[in-house]
Chains A and B, each alone.
Chain A
């Protein structure tokens, strides 16, 4: 069946359950596709032999009551996977094989899915173009030498390029939604505390959240209901009533109030983004929802706040990579020399930049001016959303201020790179759920995304809105398989 890879997750699950497809057939199809797609550089570690064995084993005694029966899936290389190398895109973990499994991936395997391999990402999830990975650039299936976004660039590329039926990424400031937007896929960043952080290589603990990246909203909802569980191993995991998101999914959003925040109309935003946003507004109206102009007054402070909070936490979270216990170690004259060489050689320049920024803002004498103030602003940003949600059920914004850019285009201009996250970062700071759905193309034919931001724990609502809009938009990704010779 040559069309296996073109099927959505929902279709694959149905076909395996109906015994129209075996896990082996499906797994083989995605392995073949992945083998042919090496030029995308989406994988850091392939686990194909093992995947095929697992698929065969599944078919011998298939448990078709599971939600992902024998479905192969590659995951971002930020999730620790037992006995499979986990690098976080960094040289410093290039030899690291965990003896444990992250809660999120564990939830996935428990529902019958099979690990295909580990997907490329920006080093320690720090980047918006997947160019900071020690394992090289990832190509966007949309066009040659186009970045897939980041940090979950390998995940976005793999879903868009149909190397995996679905995947998971992590989102600290936009790392799921921005690459989803750049590749014409759907990406959900859940409410902070929805998915366990246990076993995910930490970037910024108070912002990191795992989430699904899919070809469509329904697939996304299905994976979300699997990965979102309360976990006592993560003290920030929240025990709330979780929906059966895919079962409860509806396109009926009549009467929903959708906020349109004026502060997201930023200076220098390309007209095609503005036009896309207007189209989005029309779509939700067509679905019977009402749009309301709102204000999120502290939006412009979100990016600087984020670039204080996230590096501060990262500078501390990454202190454990010191060459003493595991991972890369450089030879040194003494302990301090070993630390310096290990960390200078083991971390790439973007990671080092953020460690420096983070160390600086936490330093005595600067803490109050930077970190403490940033925490206060963060509270104000959250208050903005709380205020807005008194009037509206969700908020609609563009996902990114531009479409995907060329590899190397912004590499030497970190600030311009950071500006990519301008629409996604406030959502992380406020701990809210946000979803990016493909909503159109720019003049070059590159995909553009719209973001729907929800109230905390209200994933069902934004999934429903996305589901309804998806139907109206009827987006078709323009992928030519240019990389397959």
Chain B
């Protein structure tokens, strides 16, 4: 395998293969209650404590659509620049499983709530558009737990009936990297909208990955395999890499690729056949007679449109225009809504005489490093936006040096301390009084006369020595610019 620039190709003796990927992302709708019942949806609750009679499919129980979940799906559709279908239909997808109490999942088959749309990816080589085929609403199933007892399977129905959005992309993705950027972009859009928290560890976002390969330049699609239920970006990338190579090997050996559903074994880093096309379930889809077709008015959709917050692409454009950020900086800051919020708060708190570049450097540099080290989200940042703004301002107005600022930042981490107070308490204020520095430098030159003579004779390297001595003598507080200026004058 090799990478030509950014093109992802699989090379074999005489042939080069392109990988074609489409994703079916299952995103849990952010909602206090389930899609068709009033049960709570909190993650991590005790098993079977968030289950209503409807979720457990008791006789005579009927689903009633949760309007909030409908709004969330439509908002997401708007965020995906997609067509909102004013009439959609809930269907039953019939199959038996212990964690599927009704014996069917309520989903949308022929008439989804959201139609075609698109997502723009920022790739290193430029922007790429990925088509969205559809978004539909459906219920999640419960959870079967097989490893608690040697004989029995336990079933937890807390998830049963939780609202999911299935977002189906067109087969527009061509590499594991694009998949990563696509998932991150989807997550970013949904987090901006507040329609899905995107938490992959908690299963709020997972995907079925469709992979096929074809000879480079070919317009035909190869036979695809679907890798079910992959729950991290890393695993998606690993699974695609394995699966694409497996398929290429088959082609090279002249063997056919079976259209099948496969599972990714994260321990062995391989995909395994789960069921072939022949064994595929016949889900016997038909419109759920307990639910009327879902009809939404123009007014309903327009009202949601009018209240859509600024989305990542627009925010990026604004950051570039308004704050003169580079596209690269803007991309980093907008990718996560909490980062963008933090940044905007820092900017707001810095007041009139602000240095936005400096703030960006501090956020993407020191702050990100700390968050990374401590494994924290920016929403859990130990340093508030307000205090970071004060720190940046202290540097900007010359109160402290960049070097001292780093020391202060370390101290701020413990309990989000006000940097201004740290400066005062520790007497770390930068020495910017020319007279005092003048005296300090006189003393150093006096103490190091021989070196001063050497410097004057041309040994210019020694300038650094004098700067160092002056900084040391001031306890690091002397304004380095002033030291430079005064030293130059005195050593002439």
Given the complex, which residues of A lie within 8 Å of B57, measured CB to CB?
320, 325
Partner-binding segment picked from A33-41, A61-69, A93-101, A115-123: A93-101
Q: A202-B59, A322-B103 are in contact. Are A236 and B290 (CB under 8 A)?
A: yes
Partner-binding segment picked from B22-30, B94-102, B481-489: B94-102
Given the complex, which residues of B lie within 8 Å of A88, measured CB to CB?
59
Does B254 interact with chain A (Cβ within 8 Å)?
no
Q: A198-B62, A233-B64 are in contact. Are A316 and B286 (CB under 8 A)?
A: yes
Does A206 interact with chain B (Cβ within 8 Å)?
yes
A313–B57 alpha-carbon span in the complex (Å): 15
Q: A319-B103, A322-B103, A359-B284 are in contact. Are A201 and B155 (CB under 8 A)?
A: no
Q: By the criterion CB–CB under 8 Å, are B59 and A233 in contact?
A: no
Does B56 interact with chain A (Cβ within 8 Å)?
yes
Return the CB mask of B281-292 against A: 1 if under 8 Å, else 0: 010111001111
Given the complex, which residues of B lie within 8 Å of A312, measured CB to CB?
286
Count residues of chain B with CB under 8 A from any CB of chain A. 30
Does B58 interact with chain A (Cβ within 8 Å)?
yes
Q: By the criterion CB–CB under 8 Å, are A96 and B103 in contact?
A: no
Nearest chain B CB to A354 CB, angstrom units: 15
Does B17 interact with chain A (Cβ within 8 Å)?
no
Return the CB mask of B61-86 against A: 1 if under 8 Å, else 0: 11111000000000000000000000
Nearest chain A CB to B296 CB, angstrom units: 15
A433–B210 alpha-carbon span in the complex (Å): 50
Does A176 interact with chain B (Cβ within 8 Å)?
no
User: Looking at the complex, which one of B64, B94, B155, B285 makes contact with A235 (CB distance below 8 Å)?
Assistant: B64
Interface positions of A from 79 to 109, Cβ below 8 Å from B = 79-80, 86, 88, 93, 96, 98-100, 102
Q: By the criterion CB–CB under 8 Å, are A324 and B94 in contact?
A: no
Q: By the criterion CB–CB under 8 Å, are A235 and B282 in contact?
A: no
Q: A362-B286, A364-B282, A371-B286 are in contact. Are A202 and B64 (CB under 8 A)?
A: no
Q: By the criterion CB–CB under 8 Å, are A362 and B284 in contact?
A: yes
Nearest chain A CB to B47 CB, angstrom units: 14
A96, A319, A371: residue with the most chain B Cβ atoms closer than 10 Å: A319
Q: By the criterion CB–CB under 8 Å, are B292 and A235 in contact?
A: yes
Question: CB-nearest residue of chain B relative to A234?
Answer: B62
Q: A316-B284, A364-B284 are in contact. Are A233 and B62 (CB under 8 A)?
A: yes
Does B104 interact with chain A (Cβ within 8 Å)?
yes
Does B60 interact with chain A (Cβ within 8 Å)?
yes
A169–B60 alpha-carbon span in the complex (Å): 15
Q: By the criterion CB–CB under 8 Å, are A201 and B289 in contact?
A: no
User: Looking at the complex, which one of B60, B289, B291 makes contact with A313 (CB distance below 8 Å)?
Assistant: B289
Question: CB-nearest residue of chain B relative to A343?
Answer: B96
Chain B interface mostly:
loop
Q: A236-B292, A316-B94, A324-B101 are in contact. Are A100 and B284 (CB under 8 A)?
A: no
Does B191 interact with chain A (Cβ within 8 Å)?
no
Given the complex, which residues of B lie within 8 Å of A70, measured CB to CB?
none
A233–B290 alpha-carbon span in the complex (Å): 11
Q: By the criterion CB–CB under 8 Å, are A319 and B104 in contact?
A: yes
Q: By the criterion CB–CB under 8 Å, are A201 and B284 in contact?
A: no
Q: A362-B94, A362-B284 are in contact. Are A325 and B289 (CB under 8 A)?
A: no
Q: A80-B60, A371-B286 are in contact. Are A339 and B292 (CB under 8 A)?
A: no
A200–B65 alpha-carbon span in the complex (Å): 19
Q: By the criterion CB–CB under 8 Å, are B286 and A335 in contact?
A: no
Given the complex, which residues of A lie within 8 Å of B103, measured CB to CB?
316, 318-320, 322
A315–B289 alpha-carbon span in the complex (Å): 13
Does A482 interact with chain B (Cβ within 8 Å)?
no
Question: CB-nearest residue of chain A relative to B53?
Answer: A100
Does B49 interact with chain A (Cβ within 8 Å)?
no
Given the complex, which residues of A lie within 8 Å of B56, measured CB to CB?
325
Q: By the criterion CB–CB under 8 Å, are B291 and A235 in contact?
A: yes
Interface positions of A from 220 to 255, Cβ below 8 Å from B = 232-236
Does B153 interact with chain A (Cβ within 8 Å)?
yes
User: Looking at the complex, which one of A79, A93, A197, A319 makes contact with B62 (CB distance below 8 Å)?
Assistant: A197
Does B214 interact with chain A (Cβ within 8 Å)?
no
A56–B65 alpha-carbon span in the complex (Å): 42
Given the complex, which residues of A lie within 8 Å of B34, measured CB to CB?
none
Q: By the criterion CB–CB under 8 Å, are A363 and B290 in contact?
A: no
Given the complex, which residues of B lie within 8 Å of A234, measured CB to CB?
62, 64
Given the complex, which residues of B lie within 8 Å of A80, measured CB to CB?
59-60
Does B92 interact with chain A (Cβ within 8 Å)?
yes
Does A367 interact with chain B (Cβ within 8 Å)?
yes
A339–B98 alpha-carbon span in the complex (Å): 10
Given the complex, which residues of B lie within 8 Å of A100, measured CB to CB?
53, 58
Return the CB mask of B229-271 against A: 1 if under 8 Å, else 0: 0000000000000000000000000000000000000000000
A124–B60 alpha-carbon span in the complex (Å): 11
CB<8 Å pairs between A and B, sample of 24 = A99-B53, A198-B62, A232-B64, A235-B64, A235-B65, A235-B291, A236-B290, A316-B94, A316-B104, A316-B284, A318-B103, A319-B103, A319-B104, A320-B59, A322-B103, A325-B56, A325-B101, A326-B58, A335-B153, A339-B96, A362-B94, A362-B286, A363-B284, A364-B282
Known: A98-B60, A315-B284. 15 other contacts (CB 8 A): A99-B53, A100-B53, A197-B62, A198-B61, A200-B60, A201-B59, A232-B64, A233-B62, A235-B64, A316-B94, A319-B96, A319-B103, A322-B96, A325-B57, A364-B284
Instruction: Give A contacts to B, CB under 8 Å.
Output: 79-80, 86, 88, 93, 96, 98-100, 102, 197-202, 204-206, 232-236, 312-313, 315-316, 318-320, 322, 324-326, 335-336, 339, 359, 362-364, 367, 371
Nearest 3 A-B pairs (CB), nearest first?
A: A319-B103, A205-B289, A362-B284
